[in-house]
């Protein structure tokens, strides 16, 4: 298992390098620069700023300098947040995004697996049709539409929950953004669970368990659930990384100071080092989550062995 994980991590290094190169050169191709908003400065002062941040060097030299900094775990200084390094900004925003995305994925797993299992056990009944209809609705409506609707109903009309912001960090402030982020994932997970559970319930070992007189609850929990979760686990790797790190729209709508907001502001302000730092952080997270998914297969399916 350890050797397999090591090979996977080493094999991911070229992918991460390509991601770095694409992000590094594409953001510099975009019009504008990190100091365009400060046109009141004298040209000499702006030239000194560019020299201080090594922006006057050739691109290949800047790229090499950035890679050397990464090898030393240095993401560099932020161009716009002058008193902060990129590492400090990431460590400030990521815990908020992790809390938001982790809560959303936990909620999605709880309701998605439960709803999908109920739909599979009651195939072609009203419960099945209701779950699938709700899933299709959740998939069809994007979260940037659902989020304002949740604010309008629960914050404006009913006044039960805050409309945005973290406030004092109480759970009430996290309810609406977590629900808005979790609803599409609940829809996907419930559909995956239903399809996989139906296939597993038709397997020979499930027929044998039924023939032995085991109750359906025990059959599902002890025998059918683990193999039925294999497609869900495959989906969870990129989905978890995307939810935790990609909740940009939700963070903007609800005013949550997470990592996504730093990424958006960095892109708008041409804060090269901040955008690159977030991209590298996102890439490492996605690689790590996909590796964890592969390792989880060995626990869910005894036929899968890593050597």
Rounded CA gap, 166 and 184, in Å? 22
Characterize 100-123 residue by residue with b for buried, 16 or more Cβ atoms within 10 angstroms of its Cβ, and e for exposed. Answer: bbebbbebbbebbbebbbbbbbee
> For the chain, what are the domain ranges?
95-256
φ, ψ (nearest 5 deg) of residue 85: -90, 165
Q: Model-level pTM greater than 0.85? A: no
Distances (CA, A) of 254 to 82, 163, 167, 250: 26, 7, 11, 6
Compute the distance between CA of residue 259 and CA of residue 251 in angstroms, rounded to an integer: 9
pLDDT at residue 45 in the model: 63
Q: What is the mean pLDDT of each run of 10 residues along the chain (307 residues)?
A: 72 81 80 61 64 70 81 78 80 82 88 89 86 83 82 85 73 84 87 88 82 81 80 78 70 79 76 82 80 70 60
Write the pLDDT tens digit of every residue in 65-116.
888 878 877 787 777 777 778 888 888 888 888 888 888 888 988 998 899 8
Topology adopted by domain 95-256: MetI-like fold (1.10.3720)
């Amino acid at each position: 298992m350890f050797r397999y994980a090591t090979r996977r991590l080493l094999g991911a290094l070229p992918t991460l390098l390509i991601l770095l190169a694409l992000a590094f050169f594409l953001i510099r191709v975009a019009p504008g620069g990190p100091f365009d908003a400060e046109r009141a400065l004298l040209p000499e002062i702006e030239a000194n700023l560019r020299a201080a941040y090594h922006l006057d060097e050739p691109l290949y030299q800047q790229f090499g300098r950035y890679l050397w900094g990464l090898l030393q775990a240095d993401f560099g200084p932020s161009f716009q947040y002058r008193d902060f390094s990129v590492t400090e900004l990431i460590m400030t925003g990521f815990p908020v995004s992790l809390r938001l995305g982790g809560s959303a994925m936990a909620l999605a797993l709880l309701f998605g697996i439960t709803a999908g299992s109920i739909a599979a056990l009651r195939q072609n009944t009203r419960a099945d049709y209701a779950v699938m209809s709700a899933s299709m609705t959740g998939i069809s409506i994007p979260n940037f539409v659902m989020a304002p609707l949740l604010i309008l109903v629960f914050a404006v009309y009913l006044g039960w929950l805050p409309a945005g912001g973290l406030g004092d960090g109480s759970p009430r402030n996290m309810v609406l953004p977590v629900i808005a982020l979790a609803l599409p994932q609940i829809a996907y997970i419930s559909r995956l669970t239903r399809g996989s559970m139906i296939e597993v319930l038709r397997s020979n070992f499930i027929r044998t368990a039924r023939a032995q007189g085991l109750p359906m609850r025990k059959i599902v929990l002890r025998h059918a659930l683990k193999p039925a979760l294999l497609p869900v686990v495959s989906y969870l790797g990129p989905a978890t990384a995307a939810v935790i790190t990609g909740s940009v729209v939700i963070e903007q709508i609800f005013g949550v100071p997470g990592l996504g907001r730093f990424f958006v502001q960095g892109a708008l302000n041409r804060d090269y080092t901040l955008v690159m730092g977030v991209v590298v952080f996102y890439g490492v997270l996605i690689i790590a989550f996909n590796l964890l998914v592969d390792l989880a297969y060995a626990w869910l399916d005894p036929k899968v062995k890593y050597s």
